[in-house]
Amino acid sequence: MKPESQNVTDYTNDNTIFMVWNFKDIPEVGDVFKRLCKLVINLNNSVNVRFPVSRASCVMGIGYDAWLKLQLPVPLPKELVNFVPIVGEKHVAVSSKGDLHFHIRADNTSICYDMAAAISDVLAQVAVSIEEVHGFRYWDSRSILGFVDGTENPHGQDRELFGIVGDDDAAYTGGSYLFVQKYIHDLTAWKALSTEQQEKVIGRSKSNDIEMDDDVKPSNSHIALANVGDDLKIVRDNMPFGNMSTNEMGTYFIAYASTFTTVQKMLNNMFIGVPEGNYDRILDFSTPKTGSLFFVPTFDMIDGFS
């Protein structure tokens, strides 16, 4: 039978909670992780029964160090490593430690809170929460920068093709690579640009989300560098977050992919540039504060871990 994947190909919801946890160095970690795996399965089954139209789910990803610490199957997924920083001429894609990542989403905020609370209750004794971001849908799926986010996402069957590991890594078929970055925007500098200048940074029109023609689109625009070809796509589920009064607004970038190589190529284009030095102009206004890679096992694997 085909392995049952976690909900990595679902479309963006109105409300999201992202959580990253790091394990303490204590012997109880393994037993608690088994309980956690049972909980993740239970949470997903429960929301499907109780709130079938809420599009609610909880996706769990596991980092490289945690995979080894928990003595999960070896060999590991082929491309699961600790993310190495990408150092460009001006900007750096930083690396941050993450043992477990949770992507909790639903149309109803209350469901997200309850799932996050249940996970926290189990993990608190053996792990430390190092990141919790509450994302929200902004208008018609726009980032706080004012442009539609995720237009290049694959649709239909292509979401599984680009988001789910295939038979080339047979032991992990149905899983997914998960890469996340927390970006903080310099809104003061961004708002100082005219709409025309902002459009050149992104490579699309702001009002109606139409991509510029290739002979007009700047070579250092976000669209020109972040899109690495129709045969190399990822499933993005980015969400805006933050506090307007303190000007700490950002985007939580989240990518599910059948291979991390695709994400790596995109990041190299953005931070190093094509050619080298021609980096993504959006980085002058958006700074990554985190960068972590995880593997999302199938429900079948999670059941086995429990």
27-48 pLDDT tens trace = 999 999 999 999 999 999 999 9
In this model, does residue 229 exceed pLDDT 90? no
Is the distance from CB of 208 to CB of 133 less than 8 angstroms? no
Residue 244 confidence (pLDDT):
86
Q: Which helix (H) or strand (E) holds 280?
A: none
Mean pLDDT within 286-301: 98
Residue 247 confidence (pLDDT):
84
In this model, does residue 267 exceed pLDDT 90? yes
246: pLDDT confidence band, cut at 50, 70 and 90? confident
Residue 162 confidence (pLDDT):
97
Q: pLDDT per residue over 188-213, tens digit each?
A: 999 999 999 999 999 999 999 999 99
Compute the distance between CA of residue 69 and CA of residue 82 in angstroms, rounded to an integer. Answer: 14
Using a pLDDT cut of 70, give the percent of the chain over it: 100
Mean pLDDT within 276-294: 98
Q: Which helix (H) or strand (E) holds 196?
A: helix 195-202
Three-state DSSP class for residue 250? strand
Residue 1 confidence (pLDDT):
80
Which class for 199: exposed (0-12), middle (13-18), buried (19 or more C-beta within 10 A)? buried
For residue 106, give the DSSP letter: E
Tell me which residue of 226, 238, 217 sits closest to 283, measured CA to CA. Answer: 226
Residues annotated catalytic, as ranges: 149
On whether the pTM is more than 0.95, the answer is yes
Compute the distance between CA of residue 213 and CA of residue 205 in angstroms, rounded to an integer. Answer: 11
Residue 26 confidence (pLDDT):
96
Q: pLDDT per residue over 74-115, tens digit each?
A: 999 999 999 999 999 999 999 999 999 999 999 999 999 999
Mean pLDDT within 270-290: 98
In this model, does residue 2 exceed pLDDT 90? no
65: pLDDT confidence band, cut at 50, 70 and 90? very high
Which class for 301: exposed (0-12), middle (13-18), buried (19 or more C-beta within 10 A)? buried
Residue 164 confidence (pLDDT):
98
| DSSP string across 117-147 | HHHHHHHTTTEEEEEEEEEE--TTTB-TTSS
Distance of CA 80 to the CA centre of its chain: 15
Compute the distance between CA of residue 215 and CA of residue 199 in angstroms, rounded to an integer. Answer: 15
Output phi, psi for 302, to 5 deg.
-60, -40
Place of tokens 């931070």: 271
Residue 114 confidence (pLDDT):
98
Using a pLDDT cut of 90, give the percent of the chain over it: 97
How many residues make up the chain in this entry?
306
What value does the mean pLDDT of the chain take?
A: 97
Q: pLDDT per residue over 131-182, tens digit each?
A: 999 999 999 999 999 999 999 999 999 999 999 999 999 999 999 999 999 9
Q: What angle do CA 43, 12, 244 make, to 5 degrees?
A: 105
Is the distance from CB of 178 to CB of 7 less than 8 angstroms? no
Compute the distance between CA of residue 267 and CA of residue 206 in angstroms, rounded to an integer. Answer: 23
Tell me which residue of 234, 231, 236 sits closest to 251, measured CA to CA. Answer: 236
